[in-house]
């Protein structure tokens, strides 16, 4: 299987501050369900792991708290939380609208590096169809979202896009990972379409492709998660 290069664990590159690097690292762990809902985030342990004082860890966790992904509980500490259904609905409504703006608000010109990254991701997704690995699936999706964010020239839109992705990711990945090869096949089609759009320099098409995929993903969440909640309530 084609493997993607792993991110450096806590290296503040691309202009990131140490706090931003720690924040993104913890966010990825929440999104990838390494820290599932109910997990406790211990500042002292994270500070030791990242080789920093507790202050930047505390600042990073505070930023994540604003996304609704962690909360402080009396006598427990900071705990990872699952977004309630209403908030998931709001996040997906926002993501659908944001996708339509990708090609209209100061899009970045397509570069050879963008095309190479799309090709790498597509090859990895094709390999995933033959030998599905849930973790690799999450990695490809995460890197696709980074690629798309890099195409957005409007800094406020880019920030909202990433924020909404982080809020949706753990919910979506808990469903998509169960789909196995079907999820990989869908990802191959998505990346094929995005690669073709980038080759044409058509950022608006990238936004449209994302809107369609976000819609599909939300419908799958409703079927697999929310419908089961309703069934449990009916049987109570």
Domain CATH for 29: 1.10.10.10
Task: Verify that 89 and 200 share a domain, yes or no.
Answer: yes
Which of 56, 80, 104 is a domain's end point?
80
Number of domains in the chain: 2
Q: Return the structure tokens found at 61.
A: 């966790």
In a domain? residue 11: no
Task: Verify that 205 and 110 share a domain, yes or no.
Answer: yes
In a domain? residue 71: yes
Task: Verify that 50 and 107 share a domain, yes or no.
Answer: no
- Interatomic CA distance for residues 42 and 220, integer angstroms: 33
**CATH (domain of 186):** 1.20.120.530
- Interatomic CA distance for residues 38 and 76, integer angstroms: 10
Task: Verify that 34 and 144 share a domain, yes or no.
Answer: no
Domain of residue 69: give its range: 18-80
Task: Verify that 100 and 206 share a domain, yes or no.
Answer: yes
The predicted model scores a pTM of 0.84
Q: How many CA atoms lie within 13 A of 109 on its CB side?
A: 2
Would you write out the chain's pLDDT as a tens digit for each of its 236 residues? 444 443 434 444 456 789 999 999 999 999 999 999 999 999 999 999 999 999 999 999 999 999 999 998 888 899 999 889 999 999 999 999 999 999 999 999 999 999 999 999 999 999 998 898 988 999 999 999 999 999 999 999 999 999 999 999 988 888 876 767 788 899 999 999 999 999 999 999 999 999 999 999 899 888 887 765 544 444 43
């Amino acid at each position: 299987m084609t493997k993607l290069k792993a991110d450096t664990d806590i290296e503040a590159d691309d202009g990131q501050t140490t706090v931003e690097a720690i924040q993104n690292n913890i966010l990825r762990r929440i999104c990838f369900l390494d820290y599932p809902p109910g997990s406790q985030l211990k500042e002292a342990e994270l500070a030791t792991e990242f080789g920093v004082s507790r202050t930047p860890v505390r600042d990073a966790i505070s930023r994540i708290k604003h996304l609704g992904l962690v909360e402080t509980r009396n006598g427990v500490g900071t705990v990872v939380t699952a977004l309630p259904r209403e908030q998931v609905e709001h996040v997906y409504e926002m993501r659908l609208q944001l996708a339509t703006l990708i090609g209209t608000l100061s899009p970045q010109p397509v570069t050879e590096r963008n095309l190479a990254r799309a090709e790498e991701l597509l090859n990895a997704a094709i390999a995933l169809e033959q030998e599905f690995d849930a973790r690799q699936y999450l990695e490809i999706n995460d890197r696709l979202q980074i690629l798309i964010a890099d195409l957005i020239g409007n800094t406020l839109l880019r920030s909202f896009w990433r924020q909404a992705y982080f809020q949706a990711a753990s919910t979506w990945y808990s469903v998509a990972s169960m789909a196995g090869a079907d999820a990989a096949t869908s990802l191959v089609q998505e990346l094929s379409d995005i690669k073709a759009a980038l080759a044409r320099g058509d950022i608006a098409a990238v936004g449209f492709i994302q809107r369609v995929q976000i819609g599909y993903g939300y419908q799958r969440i409703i079927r697999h998660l929310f419908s089961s909640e309703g069934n449990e309530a009916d049987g109570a």
